[in-house]
A = this chain, B = another copy of it.
Amino acid sequence: MSPNLIAHINKFTPLTDEEAAAISASIKNISIKKKQFLLQPGETCRANYFVSKGVMRLYFINKNGQEQITMFGIENWWITDYSSLETGSPSNYYLQAIEDSEITSLNKKAMDELLIKVPKMERYFRLILQRAFTATMRRLEYFRDQSDEERYRHFVSLFPGFVQRIPQYMLASYLGFTPQFLSKIRAKKV
C-alpha cells in the first residue's frame, strides 16, 4: 500500500478499487535514511521515485567540482533521472535523501506494464509532466531574468516551509549562488 500515492493519483484522475490495487501491486515502498543514495553516477536509473515523506535531491558535480542541485523532491513529487531511465544509459546524477524518507518506487518494467494495465496512469503522468515542464520553463526564466537576491526572495515566498527544512548550502546550490551570498541576503532580511 502507498496511501499517499493513491491519494495523489486520485486528485488527477479518480481510480476504481481495482485500478488502485493494480497500482499498489506494481510499486515498492522503501524507507531510506538521510544521506542514503538511490542513484549514483555511472549507474543506470531503473525507477521513478515518488516521495511520500521526506526530501530528496538530484545533483551532479559540475566542472568546477561543486555539487549542483537540479531538483528537489518533496512530498507528493516524483523525482528521477528521466534521461537515464528512458535510454538505459548511465546517469550523471546523484539522487540522495536529505531527510529520512519514505519513497514509493516504480521501476521501469513495472511502469511499462502498469501503463498498459491501467491506462489512466498515462493521463496522470502526462499531467504531472506538464506541470514539471511548465515549472522548469519558469525556473529557467527566473535564472535569466532575476537577480540572485530576487530569485532567493521569490523562492522563499513560494516555499516558505521548505526553505526551513534544507541546509543553507543546498538552497544556494539549487538557486545558483554561493552560501556566502545567501548568508548575506539572510542577514539583510533580519
Contact = CB atoms under 8 A, between A and B. Distances in A.
Q: How many copies does the complex hold?
A: 2
A136 B140 contact: yes
A152 B144 CA distance: 16
A143 interface: yes
A142 to B, nearest CB: 10
A119 interface: yes
B130 A86 contact: yes
Given A119-B122, A122-B123, A134 B83 contact: yes
Contact of A129 (B63, B71, B126): B126
Q: Is the interface of A mostly helix, strand, loop or mixed?
A: helix
A68 to B, nearest CB: 6
A126 B122 contact: yes
A137 interface: yes
Given A83-B134, A119-B119, A122-B123, 8 more contacts: A60-B141, A70-B140, A86-B130, A86-B134, A119-B122, A119-B123, A129-B129, A143-B143
